[in-house]
Amino acid sequence: EVQLVESGGGLVQPGGSLRLSCAASGFSFSTSWMTWVRQAPGKGLEWVANIKQDGSEKYYVDSVKGRFTVSRDNTKNLVYLQMNSLRAEDMAVYYCARIHSGRSAGDALDIWGQGTMVTVSS
């Protein structure tokens, strides 16, 4: 079964850190770009970061640059999001997704996890 399963969310104080994990199965993980997207409560979707198949290229939304780091382990089919210096505005459901790469595919996000909630509060 094609699947992405996120974990690692929870309650953290402002300024704290959290590492999210996303386990992939049922598709060729090592040949897939991966992405993180978040959704604050009651709000729309916001792209957070992309990582290339071999981890050699990473891209971030400006609001998390210098605080968040995306990484992956192709031997374990895992992608991570290390989140440091967390702020109230980072509170959201975090989704990992696969990017179906290529012009004909629109670089669409075709496989999504169920999401993991990150709550930033004192």
Partner 1 sequence: DVQMTQSPSSLSASVGDRVTVTCRASQSIRTYLNWYQQKPGKAPKLLIYAVSSLQSGVPSRFSGSGSGTDFTLTISSLQPEDYATYYCQQSNDTPYTFGQGTKLEIK
User: Is residue 77 a contact point for partner 1 (CB under 8 A)?
Assistant: no
Residue 66 in contact with partner 1, rule: CB under 8 A: no
Determine how many CB atoms are found less than 10 A away from the CB of residue 77: 18
- Least distance (Å) between residue 101 CB and partner 1: 9
Token pair in block for residue 89: 């505005």
75 CB contacts (<8 Å, ≥6 apart)? none
- Do the Cβ atoms of 26 and 1 come closer than 8 Å? yes
46 binds partner 1 (CB under 8 A): yes
Under the binding rule (CB under 8 A), the answer on residue 2 touching partner 1 is: no
List of residues contacting partner 1 (CB under 8 A)? 35, 37, 44-47, 50, 59, 61-62, 95, 99-100, 103-110, 112-115
